[in-house]
Amino acid sequence: MSSEVAARRDAKKLVRSPSGLRMVPEHRAYGSPFGLEEPPWVPDKECPRCMQCDTKFDFLTRKHHCRRCGKCFCDKCCGQKVALRRMCFVDPVRQCAGCAPVSRREADFYDRQLKLLLSGATFLVTFENSEKPDTMVCRLSTSEGRGTDVEVARIAAVQMLTEGLPPGDTLSHTSLPASRPAAEGGNARAIGMTLQYTTPGAEGLTQLTLTAGEDADGSRRQATAWLAAMHKAAKLLYESRDQ
């Protein structure tokens, strides 16, 4: 990547919206693939009562808008201020009781799981035309990748490979976005995933299958954690595209 392109990708600007200050990419094309747009606010005249507890608004009971969903609530139902990284807010912003826990879980993804995805893990990688897998360190890339780096914005589909679900079944496919991470569901265990993604200059989708490999100390723990983090990343990606 040239220094000019890198500078454009990293450039930020401070903007003010009705919801608060946001630090956003100067060039929209370089926005986060996990980003969410600010929702339109429900007009004041359309919400005479709290949309959660049905309390009537008056001089003492003021109305507040959740910065994540845009709905109108009283202070009791919308009094939490929580970081909203996916909308690039500089400071924690007011969110309703339904949205605040979601934003907290996403903050954990940004603080822990995204770092793991960018650092990578060891996998047995099988490309669609390969007969046998190669051992590689695979990582997620937030820009145009090289080698086994997969640019997150180019991911089209993800399937988790799991084992340990029904007795006697050793392998099953779990499709996104409706599923839970296999590593979190009962005795199920994530052992790999299949990724389909677009490649610059190529038609159609490229597919590769990742199977958890052993790291330097003979453990698959890093690869299993990477798979769980990737499952979460894919769900956020679907949400961003479907909004």
Across the chain, what does the average pLDDT equal?
80
Q: What pLDDT is attached to residue 129? A: 74
- Please give the backbone phi and psi of residue 9, each rounded to the nearest 5 degrees, phi first: -65, -35
Checking if the pLDDT of 72 tops 50, the result is: yes
Q: What is the DSSP pairing of strand 149-151 with strand 134-141?
A: parallel
Give residues with Cβ within 8 angstroms of 183, minimum separation 6: 189, 190, 224, 225, 227, 228, 231
pLDDT digits (tens, 9 = 90+) for 7-37: 666 688 898 988 889 988 887 766 777 888 8
Task: Look at residue 243 in the predicted model and tell me its pLDDT.
Answer: 54
